[in-house]
Amino acid sequence: MPLAWSPPVTLPPLAPLLERLVPIIRAAGDVVMKVYATDFAVRGKDDASPVTEADERAEALILPALQDLLPGVPVVAEEAVAAGRVPEFDRHFWLVDPLDGTKEFIGRNGEFTVNVALIEDGNPVLGAVLAPALNRLFLGAHGVGAFIEEGGARSPIRCRHSPAAGLTVVASRSHGDAAALDAFLAGRPVAALKSAGSSLKLCLIANGEADLYPRLGRTMEWDIAAGHAVLAAAGGKVRTLAGDALRYGKPGLDNPHFVASGLD
Protein backbone atom coordinates (compact mmCIF):
# COMPACT_ATOMS: atom_id res chain seq x y z
CA MET A 1 0.00 0.00 0.00
CA PRO A 2 1.75 3.21 -1.07
CA LEU A 3 1.92 5.92 1.53
CA ALA A 4 1.77 9.50 0.35
CA TRP A 5 2.87 12.59 2.23
CA SER A 6 -0.02 14.68 3.44
CA PRO A 7 -0.25 17.75 5.67
CA PRO A 8 -0.03 16.81 9.35
CA VAL A 9 -3.39 16.04 10.92
CA THR A 10 -3.92 16.54 14.63
CA LEU A 11 -6.76 14.45 15.97
CA PRO A 12 -9.33 16.17 18.17
CA PRO A 13 -10.01 14.74 21.65
CA LEU A 14 -11.35 11.23 21.25
CA ALA A 15 -14.26 11.42 23.71
CA PRO A 16 -16.27 14.06 21.77
CA LEU A 17 -15.22 12.46 18.49
CA LEU A 18 -16.71 9.17 19.65
CA GLU A 19 -19.97 10.93 20.50
CA ARG A 20 -20.12 12.49 17.04
CA LEU A 21 -19.60 9.07 15.48
CA VAL A 22 -22.63 7.54 17.23
CA PRO A 23 -25.36 9.15 15.07
CA ILE A 24 -23.41 8.27 11.92
CA ILE A 25 -23.18 4.58 12.72
CA ARG A 26 -26.77 4.46 13.95
CA ALA A 27 -27.99 6.04 10.69
CA ALA A 28 -26.02 3.42 8.77
CA GLY A 29 -27.66 0.74 10.92
CA ASP A 30 -31.09 2.08 10.00
CA VAL A 31 -30.18 1.80 6.31
CA VAL A 32 -29.03 -1.78 6.83
CA MET A 33 -32.24 -2.73 8.63
CA LYS A 34 -34.42 -1.24 5.91
CA VAL A 35 -32.75 -3.54 3.39
CA TYR A 36 -32.90 -6.45 5.86
CA ALA A 37 -36.69 -6.12 5.90
CA THR A 38 -36.91 -6.63 2.13
CA ASP A 39 -36.40 -9.52 -0.24
CA PHE A 40 -32.91 -8.27 -1.07
CA ALA A 41 -30.68 -9.65 -3.80
CA VAL A 42 -27.22 -11.13 -3.22
CA ARG A 43 -24.36 -10.73 -5.68
CA GLY A 44 -20.82 -12.10 -5.75
CA LYS A 45 -17.72 -9.90 -5.76
CA ASP A 46 -14.50 -10.70 -7.60
CA ASP A 47 -13.21 -12.60 -4.56
CA ALA A 48 -16.45 -14.67 -4.50
CA SER A 49 -17.63 -13.07 -1.24
CA PRO A 50 -21.26 -11.94 -1.16
CA VAL A 51 -22.44 -8.34 -1.25
CA THR A 52 -25.89 -6.82 -0.88
CA GLU A 53 -27.54 -3.46 -1.31
CA ALA A 54 -27.17 -2.99 2.45
CA ASP A 55 -23.35 -3.04 2.24
CA GLU A 56 -23.35 -0.45 -0.51
CA ARG A 57 -26.00 1.89 0.89
CA ALA A 58 -24.48 1.91 4.38
CA GLU A 59 -21.03 2.66 3.00
CA ALA A 60 -22.42 5.44 0.82
CA LEU A 61 -23.80 7.07 3.97
CA ILE A 62 -20.73 6.57 6.16
CA LEU A 63 -17.98 7.79 3.82
CA PRO A 64 -19.05 11.41 3.33
CA ALA A 65 -20.08 11.66 7.00
CA LEU A 66 -16.57 10.66 8.11
CA GLN A 67 -15.01 13.07 5.63
CA ASP A 68 -17.08 15.86 7.20
CA LEU A 69 -16.22 14.66 10.69
CA LEU A 70 -12.44 14.73 10.12
CA PRO A 71 -11.59 16.60 6.93
CA GLY A 72 -8.35 15.41 5.39
CA VAL A 73 -8.35 11.98 7.04
CA PRO A 74 -8.63 9.22 4.38
CA VAL A 75 -11.38 6.62 4.59
CA VAL A 76 -10.52 3.03 3.65
CA ALA A 77 -13.78 1.13 3.16
CA GLU A 78 -14.46 -2.44 2.10
CA GLU A 79 -16.72 -1.90 -0.88
CA ALA A 80 -14.67 1.02 -2.21
CA VAL A 81 -11.52 -1.10 -2.03
CA ALA A 82 -13.32 -3.94 -3.81
CA ALA A 83 -14.13 -1.47 -6.60
CA GLY A 84 -10.47 -0.42 -6.82
CA ARG A 85 -10.80 2.86 -4.93
CA VAL A 86 -8.00 2.74 -2.37
CA PRO A 87 -7.00 6.13 -0.96
CA GLU A 88 -3.42 6.90 -0.04
CA PHE A 89 -2.95 7.26 3.69
CA ASP A 90 -0.29 8.00 6.23
CA ARG A 91 -0.51 8.27 10.03
CA HIS A 92 -4.29 8.60 10.37
CA PHE A 93 -7.09 6.89 8.48
CA TRP A 94 -10.53 5.44 8.98
CA LEU A 95 -11.32 1.76 8.40
CA VAL A 96 -14.94 0.99 7.53
CA ASP A 97 -16.80 -2.28 7.12
CA PRO A 98 -20.37 -1.21 6.38
CA LEU A 99 -21.74 -4.71 6.90
CA ASP A 100 -19.51 -7.25 8.60
CA GLY A 101 -21.09 -10.65 8.64
CA THR A 102 -22.81 -10.49 5.26
CA LYS A 103 -23.36 -14.26 5.49
CA GLU A 104 -25.15 -13.72 8.80
CA PHE A 105 -27.19 -10.96 7.18
CA ILE A 106 -28.17 -13.28 4.33
CA GLY A 107 -28.93 -16.06 6.82
CA ARG A 108 -31.03 -13.59 8.85
CA ASN A 109 -29.62 -14.62 12.23
CA GLY A 110 -29.06 -11.02 13.38
CA GLU A 111 -25.32 -11.37 14.02
CA PHE A 112 -24.10 -8.75 11.58
CA THR A 113 -22.51 -5.42 12.38
CA VAL A 114 -21.64 -1.97 11.09
CA ASN A 115 -18.03 -1.14 11.89
CA VAL A 116 -16.04 2.11 11.95
CA ALA A 117 -12.52 2.49 13.37
CA LEU A 118 -9.97 5.30 13.47
CA ILE A 119 -6.32 4.31 13.11
CA GLU A 120 -3.39 6.33 14.41
CA ASP A 121 0.19 5.18 13.76
CA GLY A 122 -0.98 1.62 13.09
CA ASN A 123 -3.15 1.38 16.21
CA PRO A 124 -6.96 1.39 16.45
CA VAL A 125 -7.59 4.31 18.80
CA LEU A 126 -11.38 4.63 18.40
CA GLY A 127 -14.10 2.28 17.25
CA ALA A 128 -17.82 1.67 17.08
CA VAL A 129 -19.53 -1.65 16.38
CA LEU A 130 -23.31 -1.64 15.91
CA ALA A 131 -25.36 -4.83 15.76
CA PRO A 132 -28.61 -3.21 14.59
CA ALA A 133 -30.76 -6.36 14.63
CA LEU A 134 -29.68 -7.06 18.21
CA ASN A 135 -29.93 -3.37 19.25
CA ARG A 136 -26.42 -3.45 20.72
CA LEU A 137 -23.84 -0.71 20.14
CA PHE A 138 -20.28 -1.14 21.38
CA LEU A 139 -18.03 1.91 21.65
CA GLY A 140 -14.43 2.42 22.68
CA ALA A 141 -11.59 4.90 22.49
CA HIS A 142 -8.05 5.02 23.82
CA GLY A 143 -7.92 6.81 27.15
CA VAL A 144 -11.71 7.11 27.26
CA GLY A 145 -12.94 3.57 27.96
CA ALA A 146 -15.37 1.12 26.42
CA PHE A 147 -19.16 1.14 26.58
CA ILE A 148 -22.27 -0.71 25.48
CA GLU A 149 -25.56 0.92 24.56
CA GLU A 150 -28.62 -1.33 24.77
CA GLY A 151 -32.14 -0.93 26.03
CA GLY A 152 -31.82 2.84 25.78
CA ALA A 153 -28.96 3.04 28.28
CA ARG A 154 -25.17 3.26 28.09
CA SER A 155 -22.94 1.33 30.49
CA PRO A 156 -19.15 1.01 30.80
CA ILE A 157 -17.72 -2.40 29.96
CA ARG A 158 -14.49 -4.14 30.88
CA CYS A 159 -12.83 -7.44 30.05
CA ARG A 160 -12.87 -10.03 32.77
CA HIS A 161 -10.03 -12.08 34.22
CA SER A 162 -9.95 -15.67 32.98
CA PRO A 163 -12.31 -17.70 35.19
CA ALA A 164 -10.84 -20.49 37.31
CA ALA A 165 -13.46 -22.82 35.83
CA GLY A 166 -11.98 -22.38 32.35
CA LEU A 167 -12.11 -20.16 29.29
CA THR A 168 -15.12 -19.26 27.21
CA VAL A 169 -13.84 -19.34 23.64
CA VAL A 170 -15.66 -17.67 20.75
CA ALA A 171 -15.15 -18.84 17.19
CA SER A 172 -16.33 -17.79 13.77
CA ARG A 173 -19.74 -19.09 12.76
CA SER A 174 -19.15 -18.82 9.02
CA HIS A 175 -15.39 -19.27 8.65
CA GLY A 176 -14.49 -21.96 11.14
CA ASP A 177 -11.62 -24.43 10.83
CA ALA A 178 -12.43 -26.99 13.48
CA ALA A 179 -9.19 -28.96 13.21
CA ALA A 180 -6.98 -25.88 13.49
CA LEU A 181 -9.04 -24.57 16.40
CA ASP A 182 -8.83 -27.89 18.25
CA ALA A 183 -5.06 -27.94 17.79
CA PHE A 184 -4.72 -24.36 19.05
CA LEU A 185 -6.84 -25.00 22.15
CA ALA A 186 -5.15 -28.29 23.06
CA GLY A 187 -3.92 -28.08 26.64
CA ARG A 188 -5.89 -24.95 27.47
CA PRO A 189 -8.67 -25.08 30.11
CA VAL A 190 -11.81 -24.52 28.02
CA ALA A 191 -15.15 -24.39 29.81
CA ALA A 192 -17.31 -23.42 26.83
CA LEU A 193 -17.06 -22.88 23.10
CA LYS A 194 -19.45 -20.39 21.50
CA SER A 195 -20.14 -19.60 17.88
CA ALA A 196 -20.71 -15.99 16.95
CA GLY A 197 -20.87 -14.04 13.74
CA SER A 198 -18.97 -10.99 12.59
CA SER A 199 -16.93 -8.67 14.81
CA LEU A 200 -19.24 -9.38 17.74
CA LYS A 201 -16.68 -11.91 18.93
CA LEU A 202 -14.23 -9.16 19.89
CA CYS A 203 -17.00 -7.21 21.59
CA LEU A 204 -18.11 -10.24 23.62
CA ILE A 205 -14.63 -10.39 25.12
CA ALA A 206 -14.72 -6.63 25.79
CA ASN A 207 -18.04 -7.08 27.59
CA GLY A 208 -16.77 -9.90 29.79
CA GLU A 209 -18.94 -12.52 28.05
CA ALA A 210 -16.00 -14.47 26.65
CA ASP A 211 -12.24 -14.78 27.14
CA LEU A 212 -10.53 -15.87 23.93
CA TYR A 213 -11.03 -15.56 20.17
CA PRO A 214 -8.47 -17.36 18.01
CA ARG A 215 -8.84 -16.42 14.34
CA LEU A 216 -6.98 -19.00 12.30
CA GLY A 217 -8.15 -17.83 8.91
CA ARG A 218 -8.02 -14.85 6.64
CA THR A 219 -9.46 -11.48 7.66
CA MET A 220 -9.09 -7.97 6.33
CA GLU A 221 -8.22 -4.97 8.46
CA TRP A 222 -11.70 -3.44 8.23
CA ASP A 223 -13.21 -6.70 9.52
CA ILE A 224 -11.75 -6.31 13.01
CA ALA A 225 -10.36 -2.79 13.55
CA ALA A 226 -13.48 -1.38 15.24
CA GLY A 227 -13.88 -4.41 17.48
CA HIS A 228 -10.16 -4.27 18.26
CA ALA A 229 -10.53 -0.62 19.33
CA VAL A 230 -13.42 -1.50 21.65
CA LEU A 231 -11.54 -4.48 23.08
CA ALA A 232 -8.36 -2.46 23.67
CA ALA A 233 -10.36 0.27 25.42
CA ALA A 234 -11.88 -2.45 27.64
CA GLY A 235 -8.46 -3.76 28.66
CA GLY A 236 -8.02 -6.56 26.14
CA LYS A 237 -5.54 -7.17 23.35
CA VAL A 238 -5.17 -8.64 19.89
CA ARG A 239 -1.88 -10.31 19.03
CA THR A 240 -0.47 -12.34 16.18
CA LEU A 241 0.39 -15.99 16.79
CA ALA A 242 4.00 -14.83 17.21
CA GLY A 243 2.89 -12.64 20.13
CA ASP A 244 3.21 -9.26 18.42
CA ALA A 245 0.55 -6.56 18.68
CA LEU A 246 -1.67 -6.58 15.59
CA ARG A 247 -1.19 -3.38 13.62
CA TYR A 248 -3.01 -1.65 10.77
CA GLY A 249 -2.00 -0.12 7.46
CA LYS A 250 -0.22 -3.28 6.34
CA PRO A 251 0.50 -3.92 2.64
CA GLY A 252 -2.64 -5.47 1.13
CA LEU A 253 -4.70 -4.62 4.24
CA ASP A 254 -5.02 -8.27 5.20
CA ASN A 255 -4.29 -9.70 8.65
CA PRO A 256 -2.20 -12.63 9.80
CA HIS A 257 -3.79 -15.21 12.07
CA PHE A 258 -4.36 -13.68 15.49
CA VAL A 259 -5.70 -14.23 19.00
CA ALA A 260 -7.93 -11.75 20.84
CA SER A 261 -8.06 -12.04 24.60
CA GLY A 262 -9.24 -10.32 27.74
CA LEU A 263 -7.43 -9.86 31.04
CA ASP A 264 -4.92 -12.51 32.05
Handedness of CA 209, 154, 236, 214 (dihedral sign): positive
Residue 212 phi, psi dihedral angles, 5° rounding: -150, 135
**What are 93-134's pLDDT values in tens digits?**
999 999 998 888 888 889 999 999 999 999 999 999 999 999
Global pTM value = 0.92
Side-chain-side CA neighbours of residue 153 (13 Å) = 4
Higher-pLDDT residue of 5 and 243 is 243
Whole-number Cα distances in Å, 136 to 8, 15, 198, 253: 35, 19, 13, 27
Percent of the chain with pLDDT over 70: 92
Please tell me the least confidently modeled range out of 1-15, 16-30, 200-214, 224-238: 1-15
* Residue 96 CB-density burial (10 A; 0-12 exposed, 13-18 middle, 19+ buried): buried
**What are 200-244's pLDDT values in tens digits?**
999 999 999 999 999 998 899 999 999 999 999 999 999 999 999
**What are 57-80's pLDDT values in tens digits?**
999 999 999 999 999 999 999 999
Distance CA(76)–CA(139), nearest Å, equals 20
pLDDT averaged over every residue in the chain: 91
**What are 44-61's pLDDT values in tens digits?**
766 546 678 899 999 999
Name residue 22's amino acid: V
Whether residue 202 contacts residue 229, with contact meaning beta carbons closer than 8 Å, is answered with: no
pLDDT at residue 175, rounded to an integer: 57
SS3 for 151-182 is: CCEEEEECCCECCCCCEEEEEECCCCCHHHHH
pLDDT at residue 224, rounded to an integer: 97
Report residue 4's pLDDT band, with 50, 70 and 90 as the boundaries.
very low
